[in-house]
Amino acid sequence: MTGFRSRLPILLWLALLGVATWVVSAQTRVVTDLTLFLPRASDPVENLLVAQLRVGSASRLILVALEGAPSRALARTSAALVDRLRASRLFAYVNNGDIPWSPREQNLLLQNRYLLSAHVVPGRFATKALHESLEERLRALLSTVGAFEKHLLPRDPTGEFQAVSQMWAGERRPQRKHGVWFSTDGKRALLLAETRAPVFDLQAQAVTLSRIHTAFAESAETEAVRLVLSGPSVFAVAARNSIRGEVWRLTTLAIGLVAVLLLAVYRSARTLLLTGLPLLTGVLMGVAGVSLVFGSIHSITLAFGATVIGVAVDYPIHLFSHRKAGEAADSTMTRIWPTLRLSVLTTAIGYTAMLFSGFTGLSQLGLLAIVGLISAAMVTRWVLPVLSSSARTEEPPQRRLSIIRVVDQLRRLWWLSAVFIVVGTIYFVFLDHSPWETDIANLSPISARHKALDRALRAELGAPDVRKLFIVFGDSAEDTLQRSERLAYTLNEFVERRALTGFDAPSRYMPSKALQRQRQAALPTEASLRRTLREATRDLPFRKGLFEPFVADVVTARTSAPLGPADFQGTALGVRLSSLLFRQGTQWVALLPLRGVINETTLAQWVSRLNDSQVHYLDLKVSSNQLINRYRDEALMLLVWGAAAIVLVLVLGLPSLRVVLRVLLSVAAGVIGVVMLLLVFDQRLSLFHLVALLLVAGIGLDYGLFFNRVYQERAERERTARALAVCAATTMLVFGVLAVSETPVLNAIGTTTATGAILCLVLSATLCRDPTISTSSTSAGPTDATANFSTH
Amino acid sequence: MKERGQVSHGRARFEEVKYSSLLEKPIVLRGMLYYDAPSRVEKRTESPFEERYVVDEGTVLIERHKKRPRIFSLQDHPMIRAFVEGFRATLAGDLETLQMLYDTHFSGERQRWRLVLVPLHDDMSSIVESIHIEGSDTDITQIEIREVGGDSSRISIRENLL
């Protein structure tokens, strides 16, 4: 094995590594858009749900609190902070309660008050009503604070501007102190900021958050002032950072432990380094493959994928542990390759089903696993033997514990897998609760303390904690607003009947053009207005001609063009409106968030009677949980297909159905056993557990296949048992470390896989090949089960 | 000013004349003023209509013509606060607060003094030009508010009832 032929695999490998490195460094874009891991929406409501999770205005809200100092210092810090944040241009709006609207916005509301005010109805400008309004204005003018109320009097004697601006300001506002918002106990100054960046753009969100921190550091009046932040993006960035930190810490720890273990076993640094080669190649190739096919890779795929490919560390372990003293690595490889090949193929096929997933995240993960595992196996097969030709391995000394003796003891428990399967099945049948985690909130890495803080701030700020809402679809803004108006009319009745305490609707701020025209029609003509004004002011001391501006404004309003949402663009009013009324594809959507839903059945019944495909009642929490459940169900379906494919490959690749059965039995028992153990220990299963189960299945197949090889000598059985013990030990180390993580995702994968690996090792040992058969005198050819196909 | 700070209660009848460009003729209002040191002031108008106007610490209550009273925080309305403090701080002899909000000019002698307040802050000075307060000893006899644009209001305190 010298010369070009033997070096060819190395050259090919290096060339491919070069290409992959180039692809990864030049092409790979790691994205963090969580919605890649959300299912493709099946209807407009789900579509909207996903869109709202991605870019919804509520998702971009950051709640800010300042605490720890006297209220005056907090108020001054709040004012300085707002100025800096507004100047940063990173926010659609920032508010601490200082001024509701800018002069431009005030002017917009003032100019259009007769179209926007809900008080403009027929009779509003009749003599009696007008007289009452004017008397009320006179008293205000003569009052102690009259100086502040007089400037709009000649223009707006019926107070429409005040009505409109109060309505836009919203009903629920925090109390104010020293001119800014404060919590009820007066200990926290409160601010609201809406980021321009969508919540899924974690990079931009991280920049935005760090900007808040620097702005705060510059604004804080004393050292004592503390900054408290909350909101979806704050959580997302914190979660990312904590997962990142934890992954880094745990991975380093796991790699260190595995290195110590392998060094102890092989006593060779070179062997240790060679063990890492297939793994690294696999990850690199996998990432390059995913970037080439998908154009980018999701950070979750990357994290998961690295774990999945981590199993590839078993391949070189098989090579080194099966090598006899003085044997050429290449001939060891030839000996174990058929089994290893089958193991890799079945595992890879398990992931093939994921390729067909509707969720980009899952298909990326499938591709990453397949490419990674296969290239790791190929490196082990063709590259490692060349590189390790001079690497020494030692035959295990006789004085060491003979593992095969333990295995032979375990063989007496051949019935154990069947027991696991039967007991597991009975357990599942009689399980009195759903095995699935149905509340996605429990998967979030956010601590209960932070969730409580978020709720408290939200309640104080009156920020929408939108959970229950009506969604109205329409073909145009006008159509949608008209529907929203009709819905609001009914909802008002529900409020009166105390089925709910309140609601918001875009049509309250932005009436439909039809309604604006109705209001125009309710405005009197110039002649009639002058006549009623004369009568209404007869006994009042107002100067003659004082109300000319009023007459002029009403006359203008009668014929002015109705407003549309576009007229509010670029203002804080527009921002507010666009969170309730927006375009989605070719449709328009109006959101009517509900407050204090007391009688949900009444609402639900009404909606079902309505039978209008354009109006939907939605409980966001329930719906997003359903969405996640659908996602999980699809993943489960894919796993079933994967399992079927694995069975097929095993039937084709193994010498007898007996062997197939033995392998499958141990794997199935291992998987069922893990699930049962998880449930017994009160864990609920999530998508992450499913992915980990696929991992367990792959590991179990590997053990089962190797335990069922045909051996020629007892020493080879010992070597296999040793190899599997080392494999299982590394798996236990890596995933055991993950299992101590407090991040639900890592914990789920760690616990499941570590438990699964040990179960599969024991169970596959109980079902390992009968040594009395394996020592039968077959030919001196490859001693693999596959090759012995014909002899059975 | 200092002595004014020692007065703890007060009750007086007032007559207020409002001159407004919005109105055909000046309007005369009559009622009672109550003061409890250091931060409660009540102005109760009896004619030509009823209005109760109470400033207590940081809140203002306005009850007008048998309507539901409106209560709001002075901090929400910095202009009204400046305006209110013009009287309240004068009544309480709180020179420090006065000087935070106004340029103050004191003239005359003990028996007949005059305090002119000119608002310092833009939002207030765009509406109120100056406030003139006249008094004798610790009594305030007249408050005149001159608004930008020529409107004004003169409150004469007729009899101090203790």
pLDDT at residue A115 tops 70: yes
A413 at B interface, C-beta within 8 A: no
Q: What's the pLDDT tens digit per position in A569-618? A: 877 788 778 878 888 878 898 988 887 788 888 887 888 887 777 888 88
pLDDT at A301 over 70: yes
> Any idea which of A436-440, A700-704, A734-738, B125-129 has the lowest mean pLDDT?
A436-440
Residue A771 reports pLDDT greater than 80: no
- Encode pLDDT of A491-514 as tens digits: 998 888 888 888 889 998 999 999
| A147/B128 touch (CB, cutoff 8 Å), yes or no | yes
- A213 pLDDT exceeds 70? yes
Query: A140–B25: do the CB atoms touch at under 8 Å?
Result: no
CB contact under 8 Å between A143 and B20, yes or no, is no
Residue A451 pLDDT > 90:
no
Rg over alpha carbons for chain A, rounded to the nearest Å, is 35
> Is A777 near chain B, with CB under 8 Å?
no
Looking only at the bridges linking them, the beta strands covering B112-119 and B128-136 are: antiparallel
pLDDT of residue A393: 54
Confidence of residue A40 (pLDDT cuts 50, 70, 90): low
First to last CA, chain B: 19
ipTM score of complex: 0.89
- Among candidate residues A617, A623, A589, the one with its CA nearest the CA of residue A41: A623
Q: For all residues of chain A together, what is the average pLDDT?
A: 83
Neighbour-count burial of A524, counting CB atoms closer than 10 A to its CB (0-12 exposed, 13-18 middle, 19+ buried): buried
- Identify the pLDDT of residue A446: 66
Quick one: pLDDT at residue A462? 67
Give the chain A residue nearest B83 (alpha carbons). Answer: A145
| Res. A519: pLDDT tops 90 | yes
Average pLDDT estimate for A547-572 = 89
Model confidence pLDDT, tens digit, residues A27-36: 777 776 655 6
Please give the full DSSP string across A327-391, using - where no structure is assigned.
Answer: --HHHHHHHHHHHHHHHHHHHHHHHHHHHT-SSHHHHHHHHHHHHHHHHHHHIIIIIHHHHTTT-
Q: How far is A178 from chain B (nearest CA, A)?
A: 5
CATH 3.40.718.10 given to domain A20-40+268-395: no
From chain A, the residues in CB contact with B49 under 8 A are: 139, 142
Between helices A687-707 and A314-322, what is the axis angle to 10°?
20
> What's the confidence (pLDDT) of residue A23?
87
Domain segments of chain A as ranges: 20-40+268-395, 406-434+654-792
With a cut of 60, say whether residue A786 has pLDDT above it.
no
Main-chain dihedrals φ then ψ at residue A28, nearest 5 degrees: -70, 125
- pLDDT tier at A368, thresholds 50, 70, 90: very high
Q: How far is it, in rounded angstroms, from Cα A94 to Cα B54?
A: 34
User: Is the model's pLDDT at A208 over the cut of 90?
Assistant: yes
Q: Which domains, from first to last, does chain B contain?
A: 4-161 (2.50.20.10)
Check residue A113 and give its pLDDT: 92
Q: Hey, of B22, B24, B126, which one would you mutate to test binding to chain A, going by the most A CBs within 10 A of its CB?
A: B22
Please state whether beta strands A175-177 and A581-584 pair in parallel, antiparallel, or not at all (unpaired). unpaired
- The pLDDT-based confidence of A98 (bands split at 50, 70, 90) is low
- The pLDDT value recorded for residue A288 is 93
Closest-CA distance of chain B to residue A177, Å? 6
- Give CA–CA dist B51/A605, Å, rounded: 50
Name the minimum distance, in Å, from the CA of B51 to any CA of chain A. 8
Inter-chain residue contact A179 with B153, CB threshold 8 Å: no
Task: For tokens 């309250």, name the residue.
Answer: A508
Contacts of B66 in chain A (CB under 8 A): none
pLDDT band at residue A774 using 50, 70 and 90 as cut-offs: very low
Residue range B38-60, pLDDT digits in tens:
788 888 988 888 888 888 877 88
Q: For A226-273, what is each residue's pLDDT tens digit?
A: 999 988 888 888 877 877 777 788 888 988 999 999 999 888 888 899
pLDDT at residue A698 greater than cutoff 70: yes
Chain B partners within 8 Å of A146 (Cβ): 18, 20, 153
Three-state SS sequence of chain B: CCCHHHCCEEEEEEEEEEECCCECCCEEEEEEEEEECCCEEEEEEEECCCEEEEEECCEEEEEECCCCCEEEEHHHCHHHHHHHHHHHHHHHCCHHHHHHHEEEEEEEECCEEEEEEEECCHHHHCCEEEEEEEEECCEEEEEEEEECCCCEEEEEEEEEEC
How high is the pLDDT of residue A790? 35
> Both tokens of residue A146?
């009259």
Q: pLDDT at residue A387 above 70?
A: yes
Tens of pLDDT along A650-670? 999 888 888 999 999 999 999
Residue A140: closest C-alpha in chain B: B64
Chain B residue closest in CA terms to A151: B127
Q: Is it the case that residue A789 has pLDDT exceeding 50?
A: no
Q: Taking residues A333-359, what's their average pLDDT? A: 87
